[in-house]
Amino acid sequence: MFDHGWNNYYEHAFPEDELNPFECNGRGSDKANPSNININDVLGDYSLTLVDTLDTLAIMGTQEQFEEAVDRVIKTVSFNQDNKVQVFEVNIRALDMAVNLADRLMPAFKSTRTGIPFPRVNLRKRVPSTETTETCTAGAGSLILEFGVLSRLTGDPSYENAAKRALKSVWSRRSNINLLGNVIDIQTGNWIHTASSTGAGIDSVFEYMLKAYVLFGEEEYKEMFDQAYKGLLLYVRDTSGYLYRNVHMSTGSLMSYWIDSLSAFFPGLQVLHGDIDAAIKGHLVYYNIWRKYHAIPERFDFYHKGVDLAYYPLRPEFIESTYHLYQATKDPFYLQVGEMVVEDLNNRTRVPCGFASIGDVQTGRLEDRMESFMLSETLKYLYLLFDTDNSIHKLDSNFIFTTEGHILPLPSKYLKSAQPKATRNRGGGGGGGGVVSIQSVAPGTCQKYNPSGLKSIWIPGSLDMSSIPYQPQTDYAMDIVGYTATELTPLSSNGYCESPITASKSFSLSFGYTDYNGILNSKQRYKSNNLIDLVGGYLAKSLSGLRLEIISGSGGGSGRKNDGYIVKGG
């Protein structure tokens, strides 16, 4: 899948920013319509997909592909463009180009009374005089990882200081119940949009609080996150523990009935924090939304249990959380979730020249765009989910995935000061320099998550009652979403009550000391019949005492549809 997407971008779209999979050509900034922020906030004519995919190539591609891509970046990519782009989007996708790009973004922090940056900047001409002073919380507070690492590597503290001031400025304006709004004025510091959630416009600010603590080992970031997380659990999460809603930042009162696809990242962050139970519940909601539509719509109305905004631009957040939950629990259910996603992406979005966004998850209508995060995040997380022996899974140092899925490590020599090591097992990357560790055992040896102490059943087959699908949370999440499994179709117009017409089937039941070849096994000890009470019936683990061969009746000439079973021999 990655080769299909990458090769088509590289052959048909490069040096443009993105691939148009229908027309099989490239797309860059919309110069004809500068106000088209859907395109121009991200695309700035700097080969975005190439830059955004570099570390994915390091993980999934060949050595030759990676070296060629790096060479192309060095020789062809330039940020000296007369394009106005969004500071947040360019930071998370392309700051790997480091100093040259960062210096072009830094003017966004100038001339603001709050220290919160302007949302957009012209890469050549700085901040336009007509630029809006309204910015989203995520855009203002999600710069500290990339800017912080850049300062540590270059020895220039200005980048980290600017990003840290912006984050602290946003956090200082939280409500009395520790909630943040969605849109703020960078000059007055007043909230423009007061909805608080874990979704679009605010999502990654929580992510960067916790990951800044993991990466830099500085306590103030953890204190921010702990207070913010407590506020989310008390006021944003509903009483069921499954939904994280849009509520008013000052009162916690409900402001809308939808959740969005971006908030599907949050279970992965909860894994990093160590709140596995909450992560499992939240993930199950999005799992069942995916099952219902074979994708995740941009917005889902949980009151009417239907689509609010129908498009799916190949976003990675649900797959990201699936990956982190598998790493934390080792439950094979999450591998099955990944398989479901792979099948749906191939069946619904794969076209001859790449992968197309879904314009409507209900009709299957496709759109001519493959955003860069399809290669840099979505397929990277799927690959790492199934590559269970990847060396990345065994790292136990202060590295993180950025909100764009880029792997960002920071050697201990770049930490500002040694912090005392955590004594409790808190979620996070971990290791030297006082950074916490997510693991309580040796790297790469996480045990399967099973807080209820449910025992696996190895006979018959591989039935495992401790896995997520067999726990009651799954059924509850299905009801929240309004998803009904349709594997069994009605057998008649009257439902399931009428017996079906079936062909004869043979069965063999063995009870006793003989094996299936009829040979007496004198060494076998007598075992009592073991029946396990399951939902809807019983499961026999072992039987002994009798062997029968039976066939099901087909009705014959009696006119009856089923005559039960006939003992053929024994």
Q: Catalytic: 89?
A: yes
Who contacts 479 (Cβ-Cβ below 8 Å, separation ≥6)?
A: none
Strand partners, 120: 86
- Integer Cα distance of 415 and 287 in angstroms: 38
Q: Catalytic: 203?
A: yes
- Integer Cα distance of 409 and 212 in angstroms: 11
Catalytic residue among 298, 377, 404, 464: 298
64, two tokens: 């030759």
The residue among 291, 422, 314 whose CA lies nearest residue 367 is 314
Instruction: Scan for tokens 């409507």, then name that residue.
Output: 360
Q: Catalytic: 11?
A: no
- Integer Cα distance of 488 and 65 in angstroms: 47
Q: How many CA within 13 A on the CB side of residue 493?
A: 0
- Integer Cα distance of 122 and 205 in angstroms: 24
DSSP string, 54-120: HHHHHHHS-HHHHHHHHHHHHHH-----S-EEEHHHHHHHHGGGTHHHHHHHGGGGTT-SSSPPPSE
Q: How many CA within 13 A on the CB side of residue 83?
A: 26
Catalytic residue among 16, 55, 203, 377: 203
Q: Catalytic: 320?
A: no
- Integer Cα distance of 307 and 480 in angstroms: 13
Catalytic residue among 160, 317, 377, 464: 317
Catalytic residue among 16, 41, 55, 89: 89
Catalytic residues: 89, 203, 298, 317
